[in-house]
Structure 1
Amino acid sequence: MKLYKLLFFSFLLATLTSCTFTENIYINDNGSGKFSVDMDGSSLMQMAGDQLGSQVGADAKKDIDSTFTFKQLLAEKKDSIAKLSPEVQKELKKLENFVVTTKMSAEKKQFLMTLSTDFKSVNELQDILQTASTLQKLEGGATANPLGNGFGDNKSKLSYTYDGKKFTRKATIDQQKLTEKLNDSSADMSKMIFASSNYIVKYHFPKKIKKVSNPSALFSDDRKSITIQYSFTDYMENPDKLNFDVEFEK
């Protein structure tokens, strides 16, 4: 059994139950750091473990602990990529350094997936989640995005800035594209799918935080980290609700 087959079926089931997506950013003193998005679909395994086994065979009952890089995936898809426009090829190249880690256990009722990369500056992360949705342009691309078909495609442009004094997360909405999406016949289904899922941001900084523009932010004991929870519906339909500024102590 190929891992991709199991993951594809898992994502189909994941759309029918609640998942938690966590966006993590760790920033070091020199501005470098690590970015990751974690998907916890363990409730999927609790509800549909038996279905996984019947659909993809006995191998689905074996524990999975795998890691692969997008560089490997893109190499396998090089013929398909060659047929795409230079602009799309350039977007896909941004994903080369991303690593995907999957841990799945029917016995432990566990289904965890992490998409991660290191960066030299947060500026390297501009529109990175939207870039992941570009994978759907590949042959068989509907299952190429490890965090699920359509993830990151919330019709906005996401940017991060950090200068040591202030950090900003800002999503700028493309109103035309958003309206088209909301008017799509599948919009009601999407709302049902994401209604019980959450999107959490956890950001870790090298300096103590003075204030955050979002009043819902929770601080770590050392005031160097914040956690903010949103509904996944807001992430998809109102991405600007996830905008905020962080100011640091001198």
Structure 2
Amino acid sequence: MTSCQFSETIYLNEDGSGKMAFSFDASELMQMTGDQFLEGDGEKDVDSTFTFKAVFDEKRDSISQLPKEEQAKLKALEPFSVHMVMSAKDKKLNFDMFSDFKSASELQDMFTALNTVSNLQGKDVGQANDQPNPFSSMIDGGNSELYYSFEKGVFKRTVKVLDKEIQKQIIDSLGQGAMMFANSKYKLNYHFPRKVKSVSNDKALFSADGKTVILEFGLMEYIADPEIMNLEIILED
């Protein structure tokens, strides 16, 4: 078994704007699989930064043939930048996706977003840089909806599973992948402009200053039941 760490970090300002980062550390996977993970790719060592807008500009013709709904999902990713580091020699694989936002409602499910991109002409995230997508076999991404909101001092992260049976099928379809990622974690790090008064999820932890909420579950727990990471956070007046 190996351990990959996924994290979702949000810095929220008083006016609802802020910064978001979605990070993936699969260095332990690299240590286990080594060159096999990058087999078929020319360059073994990569340290690159790109924007989704640049990738989409290159695939403009293909995107225009997608359903309007899929085009809208891709359009929402344009503000995001990606930093990817791969090193077969150092057994390192890190992926960071980050962007500023004007409103919490602009935030979206990163697994779903990455799945949408990876399905574009069968190409992987960052294929403009000829790099593999570490998320391509992780999750279907089409059976849940994730929404964020921040109004009147109340922040919400709400996941809704559309079909419980399909969600079970997604887990079953992972096969050995479920065992491989059994020790992996999904972690939320949410930073607020003032102290937190209450959190709906009893698994949540707080920073010493009371302005940061941390919530962590096993990755397979999250994929099996995304609703376990629903949150309602009320800030002090």
In the superposition, the TM-score normalised over structure 2's length comes to: 0.85
Q: CA deviation at 1:132?
A: 3.1
For residues 1-250 of structure 1, the aligned pairs below 5 Å read 17-51=2-36, 56=41, 59-60=43-44, 62=45, 64-127=46-109, 129-141=111-123, 143-144=124-125, 146-149=133-136, 150-151=138-139, 153=141, 155-175=143-163, 178-183=164-169, 186-250=173-237
Which residues of structure 2 form unaligned runs of 5+?
A: 127-132
Please give the alpha-carbon distance, in whole angstroms, between the structure 2 residues aligned to 1:161 and 1:169.
7
Please state how far the C-alpha of 1:50 moved relative to its aligned partner. Answer: 4.4
Per-residue CA deviation, residues 124-163 of structure 1 (Å, 9 max, x unaligned), is 114454233222442123x237451154716211011112
* Cα distance between partner residues in 1 of 2:140 and 2:98: 14
* Structure whose residues are more often helix by fraction: 1
Shift of residue 53, structure 1, vs aligned partner: 7.1
Residue 215 of structure 1: how far off its partner (Å): 2.1
Q: Secondary structure at the match of 1:71?
A: helix
- CA distance in 1 between counterparts of 2:153 and 2:121 reads 44
Identity %: 38
CA RMSD of aligned residues (A): 2.4
8 Å CA contact retained: 1:154, 1:236: no
Give the number of aligned pairs. 229
Unaligned runs of 5+ in 1: 1-15
- Distance in 2 of aligned mates of 1:200 and 1:67: 23
3-state SS, counterpart of residue 139 of structure 1: helix
Aligned residue type for 1:101: H
In structure 1, C-alpha distance between the alignment counterparts of 2:87 and 2:14, rounded to whole Å: 37
Paired residues of 1:37 and 1:116 also in contact (CA < 8 A)? yes
The one-letter amino acid paired with 1:114 is D
For the residue of structure 2 that corresponds to 1:94, the secondary structure is: helix
TM-score (norm 1): 0.81
